[in-house]
Amino acid sequence: MRCPQSSVSLAAVAFVLLTACSDSTGPAVGATQFGEPLSLVQFESEVVGTARIEIEFTSFTGLVAREIEVEPDDAEEKLVSRVTAMDATAGTLTLELGGLVTSYGASTRFRTPSNSNVSRSAWEALIAAELNAGRLPSIEARRNQPVTPQAPTVATFAAADVRLTDAIDDAKIEVYVDADNFEDVVSPPPLAILRVFGLPVEIVSSTRIQRILNGAPSPGANVQFEAQVISVNVAGATMTLSDGTVVQTTAGTTFDPEGDLLTLSAAAAAVASGDFVRVEGIGTVQSAGPPRTVAATLVKIEVDD
């Protein structure tokens, strides 16, 4: 769930939260994802060579980046969006995100939330039913990593795998880019343009940029983190994450008002009721462990639907 922007939201602080991950439902159970913030200059240096990035947007229809992550290499690229139209004859889906058109064909694998291999006609019928009912179905479209990054002005995405999903929280693009995708802006705002699939994605002052860390962070490192919360010790002011990492909060820890839960007591109650509780935050690694401990300066606690 997302709330309106607040004047004391994470976008207003020097270090920023990690809120994205490779799956639309949040971090994988058992994993804690750590990242380090990047300046725009540092990010531009990342894409001088080839880099895999994930972009999350401030809205489903707009092209302003809320977050950009530089991620470890993967074997695929992915689009996550809602569908506004389908042409079953042409084999195309028009996405709410920038009006991007995604194609599919005889070799595409079709999935639903409960079935990993359905026929094209059955899948199209499900999409058509949603659209006819006035709803915008959510999809994930995937394809194999290209040999070289696609030219930024080429507005095509041929899906090798397309899945009808449950409702999504954010539109996303996961794509390989290089220096050709980055465009300086003479008179900001925006600060820069990142052009992918023909879409001019705006990088603005509130855009949060980070590099995902491959290994475990060392003590003393300032990090951004995201994971499932599996237990909460209200008296001890700690949250234990899915991989055993302990997040310590203090009187100086800020609870982001855009989160679903604003106290440890509320988080404890949600975990006890069986909800999937997720925390994103900024902090300093205190101990490599086990268990690893992180002193949090800022946390955002959400309940995933």
pLDDT at 169: 81
Could you read off the pLDDT of 223-276 as tens digits, one per residue? 888 899 999 999 999 999 999 999 999 999 999 998 999 999 999 999 999 999
Average confidence score pLDDT of the chain: 89
3-state secondary structure of 69: strand
Could you read off the pLDDT of 12-50 as tens digits, one per residue? 333 333 333 333 334 445 578 888 888 999 999 999 889
Q: Count the neighbouring beta carbons within 10 Å of the beta carbon of residue 221.
A: 15
Q: Taking the chain, what is the end-to-end CA distance rounded to the nearest angstrom?
A: 8
CA–CA dist 183, 192 (Å, integer): 6
Q: Burial, 301: exposed, middle or buried (Cβ in 10 Å; 0-12, 13-18, 19+)?
A: buried
CA–CA dist 293, 97 (Å, integer): 39
Q: Measured between alpha carbons, how far is residue 83 from residues 12, 157, 162 in Å?
A: 32, 14, 12
Q: Burial, 120: exposed, middle or buried (Cβ in 10 Å; 0-12, 13-18, 19+)?
A: middle
Answer whether 0.85 is exceeded by the pTM: no
pLDDT at 240: 97
Residue 231 is encoded by which pair of tokens? 């237990």
Could you give phi then psi for residue 76, rounded to 5 degrees?
-150, 165
**More confident: 141 or 213:** 141
Element housing 271 (H / E): helix 264-272
Residue with tokens 């240096």: 45
Could you read off the pLDDT of 199-218 as tens digits, one per residue? 999 999 989 898 988 777 88
Q: Burial, 121: exposed, middle or buried (Cβ in 10 Å; 0-12, 13-18, 19+)?
A: exposed
CA–CA dist 247, 226 (Å, integer): 11
Is 284 a residue whose pLDDT tops 50?
Answer: yes
Asked if residues 237 and 246 have their Cβ atoms less than 8 Å apart, the reply is no
Asked if residues 164 and 139 have their Cβ atoms less than 8 Å apart, the reply is yes
Which residue in 234, 220, 230 sits closest to 263, CA to CA? 234
Kindly tell me the sign of the dihedral angle through the C-alpha atoms of 131, 134, 140, 141.
positive
Residue 265 is encoded by which pair of tokens? 């007591």
pLDDT at 30: 58
3-state secondary structure of 43: helix
| Domains in the chain: ranges and CATH | 10-31+216-304 (2.40.50), 40-74+177-210 (no CATH), 81-170 (no CATH)
